[in-house]
Chain A
Amino acid sequence: MDRKTVIWGIFACLLLAGCNDQKVIEDLAIISMMSFDQTDDPTGDLKVTASFPNLTSETSNEEQIIETIANSKKEAEDLLSSKTKQQVVNGQIHSIILGERFARNGVKSVISSMERDQEIGSQVKVVVADQEGTEIIRTEVVPDIGSYIDKMLKTESEKFTIPETDIHHFSRDYYDDGIDPIAPLFRKQDGRIVLVGTALFRNDRYVDHLDLIQSKILMLLLSKVERSELTIKMAQEEKIRNVHFDYVTSHRNINVYKKGREVDHIKIVVKMRGSVLEDTGEESISSTKEIHELERLVARHIEHKAEDIIEILKENQTDSLGLGQYIRQSLSYEEWRTLDKERLIETTPVSVEVDVTIKDTGMSQ
């Protein structure tokens, strides 16, 4: 054999090796979305529903929905496989829906199973349903529910209405002792999928939720916000005054004040800057004095809302804002170790200060 034959032989081996692990797309049932619900079924406590967009026929867009009862995610995948003629693969899951009852009992098993599974990327979105998760998947309004919810999450998290939560974010915050995870909350309403707000977790258990407006304020308290808007309703002499505040930037600062070696209180300072694009109030806003007055009103309003949220967090002993991380930053290792972290948020006073700057009032005075 001369050298050329050897090289061509090796070349052929290398290329042919590609044919070894082949997967024919028509033979695959590609899961686009999965939901997990708690059941009282004797065969298992996990009801798993999966939706498969139909890729085999070009004409119909129908998707297939299969449901099974199992004890774990992987077992469910096996059982799903036995209910379809194709091989079930999970590499293209866009999001997972956690049913309310399931989420209340702790979701760690599913999240760690997703993390361990090498086929599943850590960008898979985590969503909580206000009812049974399977209800959401069974919504028939849209052809492919998986990518629909995916798009919806993307647009809303870009508007800073809801947190961007994927497997990585969820488990990162779950394992961090200074923050608790959060996730978007959905509901099926009149046959449509509606974004309800943010689900708050305590460790891996879903404990409470915030509505959409609160959820927007939570985002302000949570991190830097680049662009969003708020409609503020204020009672003004018998009428309700609507002010639409469109902010371009919002910065948040968290300061931990200590008295001796103990944490005395926490102050969250939010600095916002934006424009007023709608005002149903009686007077026009033209003088600097009126602008300042409006700034003050908007700020007070947001402060009140924020205090409500912190009240909710304290009631549920959950640290969705990651205040624990800031407390940790100000303590020594021994102090942090001995701290009662379960009751940390409940016992620490938190105040919010909002500073609003109205840079313009749109096209009219």
Chain B
Amino acid sequence: MSEKIAPFHLAILIYMIQSGVTLYKLPRMLAVNFGTNGWIMVLIVSFVAGINIFLISLVNRFRKGESVFEIMEGLIPRVVLAPFYILLALIWSILALLVGKDYILITQVLAFQNSSLLLLYSIVLILAFYLVIKDMYTISKTTTIFFFLTIWMTFLLIYHIPYSSVMRLTPFIFKDGTHSIRGWIEVYTAFLGFELVLFLFPYIDEKKPKWFLSVYVGHVITTIVYTLICLVSFMYYSFEQLKLISFPVLNLIAYVEIELIERIESLVFNLFLMKILVTVVMYLWAAKLLLHRGMPSVNEKWLAPILILVAFFITFRVDVVYELAPWLLIFGFAAAGIAIGLPILLLFILWIRRMRNG
């Protein structure tokens, strides 16, 4: 077995999977769905996600050094589980590709309008492909580098402080929002990614007994970054204005004017690719793992290309922002369901197994 992921790298990995393209739209989503002072909702949703992580930590506590697959196959035969694995693999790989496409579509709102979507999209997929065929340790190391290349962007928020005002927050809490279930799902998907830790169990350096804490640490980093960005957005934009801006975070970055560099946003937008890439790669990686378990006869080398191609053709026709939104919602919803359902299922299986044995 190759080297294992240290807790420090795990925390970073979790953060990088979680934060992705949804961040661009998050402040508007909050304003539209939850109304005034919607940024507080980040903390509430983060808490719910925290409970979700707690469920996963319970799975980790009750398993006896087994992987997720071994837990499930301890009760249900692999043949029965295979379709379930393949379905999960499909959902995750489609989600990954949708996220990638979303990023490219948003980029094309700003630049490269005349380049073909397919070309830019293929570049992202090729990069993702080259990373996903590496082993977990390499992916984690790459992620750490990406993390340091992108985390500094949060500090650009300092630039916006003089333009922000507490008065714009208004004293009203969650007024004027739609308060829909859809809003909850949309915001919850912004936190998704931590569920992949279920599949990382065998790759983690478990010498430190409290290693699971680093999942929480990663989640806390995400929460802090999200809260800061959303809070500043709510103070920087007036409420009605925020509801109308498609990508508030992009506008925030574009407003930064530094004497030394003109148009710093073009640099920053491109660095965002790294965040997206980690999300895409990790979901594909987990999908690959599932497919391998579901169809062990297929050569491992072909799994990643198969998944990418299948998902690519399923989502092929989705090429405008407004068509993509419902797709993202549906697959986001499915992924949220998996994030909550899978740990519960695993706990249930562990419980039944214990009952049988005991």
Contacts and interface: CB of A to CB of B under 8 A. Distances in A.
Interface residues of B, number: 30
A17 B238 contact: no
A328 B170 contact: yes
A175 B255 contact: no
B119 A21 contact: no
A175 B110 contact: no
Given A178-B167, A333-B175, A122 B238 contact: no
Contact of A333 (B110, B172, B241): B172
B296 interface: no
A87 to B, nearest CB: 12
Interface in B246-288: 251, 254-255, 257
Interface in B31-78: none
A90 to B, nearest CB: 14
Interface string B154-179: 00000000010001101110010000
B162 to A, nearest CB: 10
Contacts of A13: 123
B238 A326 contact: no
Contacts of A174: 241
B329 to A, nearest CB: 24
Contacts of A21: 111-115
Interface residues on A, range: 20 to 34
A189 interface: no
A20 B168 contact: no
B237 interface: yes
Contact of B241 (A123, A176, A178, A325): A176
Contact of B238 (A175, A329, A330, A336): A175
A120 to B, nearest CB: 10
B123 A20 contact: no
A106 interface: no
A118 interface: yes
A176 B239 contact: yes
Interface in B91-119: 109-115, 119
A121 B244 contact: no
A118 B115 contact: no
B167 A173 contact: no
A326 B166 CA distance: 11
A172 B237 contact: yes
Most chain A CB within a 10 A radius of its CB, from B170, B239, B245, B251? B170
Interface in A141-185: 168, 171-178
B126 interface: yes
Nearest to A112: B244
Interface in A319-335: 322, 325-326, 328-331, 333
Nearest to A10: B126
Contacts of A168: 163, 251, 255
A347 B254 CA distance: 40
Contacts of B172: 333, 336
A122 B114 CA distance: 23
Given A118-B110, A122-B255, A17 B167 contact: no
Contacts of B240: 175-177
Given A14-B123, A17-B119, A325 B255 contact: no
Contacts of B168: 172, 176, 325
Contacts of A122: 251, 254-255
Contact of B255 (A115, A123, A322, A330): A123
Contacts of B241: 171-172, 174-176
19 contacts: A10-B126, A14-B123, A17-B115, A17-B119, A20-B114, A20-B115, A21-B114, A118-B110, A122-B254, A168-B163, A168-B255, A172-B236, A173-B238, A175-B239, A175-B244, A176-B241, A328-B170, A333-B172, A336-B172
Interface of A: 10, 13-14, 17, 20-21, 115, 118, 121-123, 168, 171-178, 322, 325-326, 328-331, 333, 336
Given A168-B163, A176-B168, A326-B167, 12 more contacts: A17-B120, A20-B119, A122-B251, A123-B255, A172-B237, A172-B238, A172-B241, A177-B240, A178-B167, A329-B167, A329-B170, A331-B171
